[in-house]
Amino acid sequence: MAYSKFVQAWVEAAKTSDPNAPGLAEFGQGQALRLIVGTLIDAQLDQRVVLGTLGSSPTAFDARPVDVPRDVVVSDCLDGTNWLSYRTTGELWDDEPGSRKLMKSIVRLTDRGWKVDAMTGGVEAC
């Protein structure tokens, strides 16, 4: 699924704060790609990386149009309890524990295959 591959690319890119990581544009576009690239650029400027494991358990809960879907809405409780920010020098960024956040995304069928087009959330706990 494009959503899972996009999240995997995000996790890999966050290890070095690389906004140009190849999987991001391969599986993302639009607002979702801008959102993740923007967070990676901010992290790069702050000399911050994110390491560990980001748990993901996506569920597709809506498809439009129903007969031949071109958009699929995905809900995911991202588990960042073991995905923490570090300074590039190796120390923890802060003393805040990781958390579980609800993320909703739209995955859209394009002429280049399925891509994550929009992501919202990250505020509400799950």
What is the distance between the alpha carbons of residues 37 and 113, in angstroms, rounded to a whole number? 20
Do the Cβ atoms of 60 and 72 come closer than 8 Å? yes
pLDDT number for residue 53? 96
pLDDT number for residue 14? 98
Q: Which helix (H) or strand (E) holds 5?
A: helix 2-14
What is the distance between the alpha carbons of residues 65 and 23, in angstroms, rounded to a whole number? 27
Q: What is the mean pLDDT of each run of 10 residues along the chain (126 residues)?
A: 97 98 96 98 98 96 89 97 96 92 97 97 84
Do the Cβ atoms of 24 and 33 come closer than 8 Å? yes
What is the distance between the alpha carbons of residues 90 and 48, in angstroms, rounded to a whole number? 9
Taken in order of first residue, the domains within the chain and their CATH numbers are 2-125 (3.10.450.50)
pLDDT number for residue 126? 92
